[in-house]
Amino acid sequence: MKKELLMASALASTLGVASVAGAVTSSMSGHQNIGVVGTNNESSSTDTTAVTENAAFSVSLSEVTDGGTTIATGFMLANESVNAGTNTGAITLTFTDGSKLDVFNAGSAAASHDVAVPSGAGEQSVGGTSANASTTSLDFMGGSTELGVEWHSAADFMVDGLKMGASWSTDSGAAKGASTKIEGHWGVGATYVTTAGDSTVTIGAGMADTSYGDTGTQPNATENGYHIGASVVTGDLTVGVGYADGDDIIHDTTATDREMTASVSKVGLSYVSGDITMKVGYATGTSKDGTVGTAGTSDDSTESTSASVQYAVAAGVTATLGYVDVDITDEGANSDAGGSSWYLGANLAF
């Protein structure tokens, strides 16, 4: 028995050394947010307070071929199978000229080039109603599938400061059910960075189109649209604006499948003073939604105002105080699903 244990130990040790010797380069990152959220929802006369906690832990893998091409991918430790819902890592090929190609789980090039508009940080939130189809996201259109690719140009593509991208994906060939499913997608996007005096100006824009299929009623229109935004950084001050317009297909289940025409406007600013970062954001989204195959007639809307103060306590540790106020209109009438929420907590990241 002792001899068998020694042989097993030697074999495990040998395999471990061989595995390390032939391993790709890896790195890990993650964070843990923990704090208290208070919510005052207009649908209830009772204020609620609860502890909130969320964490992320991811692994990045990469290696460089003899020809200079970098092959990289990554995963979250929550991924227990190739089809897990949290499986978002593509295989990324980075070529010697600086361009990249994402293969599988590639996403939309339009979404890759939306400008980040500052808004209040923190875990505060106010739940809406499922009947409200409006959104405050700039890249609400242009859904894609896992069977796709996305190309990213190198920096200074054609002109200094320009980067571009394009994406394409298709369906799996599975039979369509009563719920709408994506049949195809394409998207394009561009980001341009320049300077104006002491300021750095970033302009981003994207356009996408997604077609859907259904064994029953076909959608009235494809999912398509565009977004455009800009941010200006002057010293410690950042100001950002964004706008999006288009059509979207909501395809969760047969009970909630809907199509909508929507627009979104956002504005926000961020200011850094030593270890303190202050953010303020405002976003509004309007839409007309209807059942699949029927254009919407009544207005939905979401209006959100947020603010936060963050303090860098130590390296990798940030304390956050955040607040948000949300107003919702559903089918042209004021909804009691809006309200306000605050958050006090800390983020530890590595």
- Distance between CA atoms of 332 and 330, rounded to whole angstroms? 5
Evaluate whether residue 18 is within a structural domain: no
Residue 44 lies in a domain: yes
Residue 84 has pLDDT above 70, yes or no: no
CA torsion through residues 125, 131, 135, 140, sign? positive
Is 1 within a domain? no
Amino acid at 82: V
Task: Tell me how far apart the alpha carbons of residues 281 and 242 are, in angstroms, rounded to a whole number.
Answer: 11
Task: Write down the pTM of the prediction.
Answer: 0.80
In a domain, 121, yes or no: yes
CATH number at residue 105: 2.40.160.10
Say if 164 falls within a structural domain: yes
Mean of the per-residue pLDDT values of the chain? 83
Query: Does a structural domain hold residue 32?
Result: yes
Give me the residues paired with residue 206 across strands.
189, 227
Range of the domain at 337: 28-349
| Residue 20: inside a domain | no
Let me know if residue 7 belongs to a domain: no
Name the token pair of 212: 């859907």
d(CA 160, CA 166): 19
User: Residues 317-332: pLDDT tens digits?
Assistant: 999 999 999 988 877 6
* Helix, coil or strand: residue 118: coil
Q: Look at the block and give the residue holding tokens 């959220």.
A: 37
Total count of domains within the chain: 1
The pLDDT tens digits for 192-231 are 999 999 999 999 999 999 887 766 666 666 788 999 999 9
pLDDT tens by residue, 87-117? 556 799 999 999 999 998 888 999 999 999 9
DSSP state of 274: T
In angstroms, the CA 248 to CA 209 distance is 10
